[in-house]
Amino acid sequence: MLADMSPPRHKQGFCVWFTGLSGAGKSVTAEALIALLLERGRQVTLLDGDVVRTHLSKGLGFSRADRDTNIHRIGFVASEIVRHGGAVVCAAVSPYRAARDHCRSLFGEGRFLEVFVDTPLEVCEQRDTKGLYAKARRGELPEFTGVSDPYERPVAPELTITTTDAAPEENARRILALAGERGFVAA
Amino acid sequence: MLADMSPPRHKQGFCVWFTGLSGAGKSVTAEALIALLLERGRQVTLLDGDVVRTHLSKGLGFSRADRDTNIHRIGFVASEIVRHGGAVVCAAVSPYRAARDHCRSLFGEGRFLEVFVDTPLEVCEQRDTKGLYAKARRGELPEFTGVSDPYERPVAPELTITTTDAAPEENARRILALAGERGFVAA
């Protein structure tokens, strides 16, 4: 019998993947989650779609092909980190199901936790934190998810959260509990 | 006194960065090194410049700005993996000193091992594994390192290797010894 040399599960890698409309609350929930993970001694890499577009994906636009490239790229980087035992939190609109499923396929069984931030379009548009919905309605953003480009809702996400009736910390705690159930966070 | 909770050094992250002309022997040495590291139980991510250009850096060209973006991107991904304790091997021409130094700055002290694959241009051109030098000489590659674009030799690399009088495995063993001296590989 071979000795099991794998590190304890709570030192193994996993990825929390936030998907949802612009303004849904992905980044704010991601940050709350990262704070909780850091408190528990886990280093975390945040791959935020907007930030990634300033370096990893500089030059990419919002066509379907460019969006797919952007999402695949985030998935590739995240999966390499997870392969080395790291924890990664990705927050990106990632509107297409096929691209998200491709990313899921890059990870070992159970290591990809898809969290659907299910905030209604009306609410996101009312928040319009970055003024993007107003621009899109004026026709200045020809491929804007929810307005002029589709958002394909997840079919079987690991978790669905709402941000209209729960604070970011509350949602972050639910995600942490899920990661804990899977053994990725020490009890 | 606080207990030291860091993992043993040989489980900590480090990056071996190969720089040198096209055809110098970076990839073949990288592969030999990875084989040795795997034998010693270290998982390794290879970020090979040519391969990276098919996904992480798809769409980038060979202007100075695009080259810098490509190298910074490889450095970013490598440093995130190292931050999580992983081992990364990068093999990229990376002709500009400033871009290499930028990458070095992303890593903790001592974790970036720059290996200069110092193969003379004449030898690289004679090998011309990919037929690129011939193309460059015909003027079909306007920004080709060594022919129509500069290669800035490292000033203080951790190691310089030659490939004209040493086999890849031999060079790989020298690099492994250096990683071992720094404690990144178990004795």
Say how far apart CA B130 and CA B146 lie, in whole Å.
Answer: 15
Say how far apart CA A11 and CA A186 lie, in whole Å.
Answer: 8
**Coil, strand or helix: which one is A24?**
coil
Under the banding of pLDDT at 50, 70 and 90, the label for residue A27 is very high
Instruction: Express each pLDDT in A84-138 by its tens digit.
Output: 999 999 999 999 999 999 999 999 989 999 999 999 999 999 999 899 999 999 9
AA identity, residue B85 = G
CB A124 within 8 A of CB A22: yes
Mutate to test the interface with A, among B84, B90, B103, B184 (most CBs of A within 10 A): B84
Under the banding of pLDDT at 50, 70 and 90, the label for residue A185 is confident
Domains of chain A and CATH, by start: 10-119+151-181 (3.40.50.300)
CB B115 within 8 A of CB B41: no
Least Cα separation, residue A77 to chain B (angstroms)? 7
Under the banding of pLDDT at 50, 70 and 90, the label for residue B175 is very high
Instruction: Express each pLDDT in B30-67 by its tens digit.
Output: 999 999 999 998 889 999 998 888 888 888 888 999 99
Q: Calculate mean pLDDT across residues A165-177.
A: 96
Under the banding of pLDDT at 50, 70 and 90, the label for residue A41 is confident
The predicted pLDDT at position B61 comes to 87
Between chains, do A55 and B73 touch, taking CB under 8 Å as contact?
yes
ipTM of the complex: 0.77
The predicted pLDDT at position A11 comes to 74
Between chains, do A73 and B84 touch, taking CB under 8 Å as contact?
no
- The answer to whether B44 contacts chain A (CB < 8 Å) is no
- The answer to whether A55 contacts chain B (CB < 8 Å) is yes
Instruction: Express each pLDDT in B103-136 by its tens digit.
Output: 999 999 999 999 999 999 999 999 998 999 999 9
- Measuring CA to CA, which residue among A8, A61, A56 is closest to residue A187? A8
Beta-strand relationship, A14-19 and A112-117: parallel
The predicted pLDDT at position B140 comes to 93
CA quadruple A132, A133, A137, A140: dihedral, nearest 10: 10
A51-79 burial, b at 16+ Cβ within 10 Å, e below that, comes to: ebbeebbeebebeeebbbbbbbbbbbbbb
Between chains, do A86 and B73 touch, taking CB under 8 Å as contact?
no
Q: What are the residue ranges of helices labelled H in A89-167? A: 97-105, 121-127, 132-137
Between chains, do B43 and A84 touch, taking CB under 8 Å as contact?
yes
A122-154 burial, b at 16+ Cβ within 10 Å, e below that, comes to: eebbeeeeeebbeebeeeebeebbbbebebeeb
Give the predicted TM-score (pTM) of the model: 0.85
Chain B partners of A76 at a C-beta cutoff of 8 Å?
Answer: 55-56
Count contacts between A and B (CB, < 8 Å).
59
Rounded alpha-carbon distances, angstroms, from residue A81 to A77, B69, B77: 6, 21, 9
Q: Is A94 a catalytic residue?
A: yes
In chain A, whose CA is at the least distance from the CA of B44? A84
AA identity, residue B41 = G
B115-149 burial, b at 16+ Cβ within 10 Å, e below that, comes to: bbbbbebeebbeeeeeebbeebeeeebeebbbbeb
Between chains, do B84 and A86 touch, taking CB under 8 Å as contact?
yes
Q: Is the pLDDT of residue A8 over 60?
A: yes
User: Number of C-alpha atoms within 13 angstroms, CB side, residue B98?
Assistant: 6
- The answer to whether B20 contacts chain A (CB < 8 Å) is no
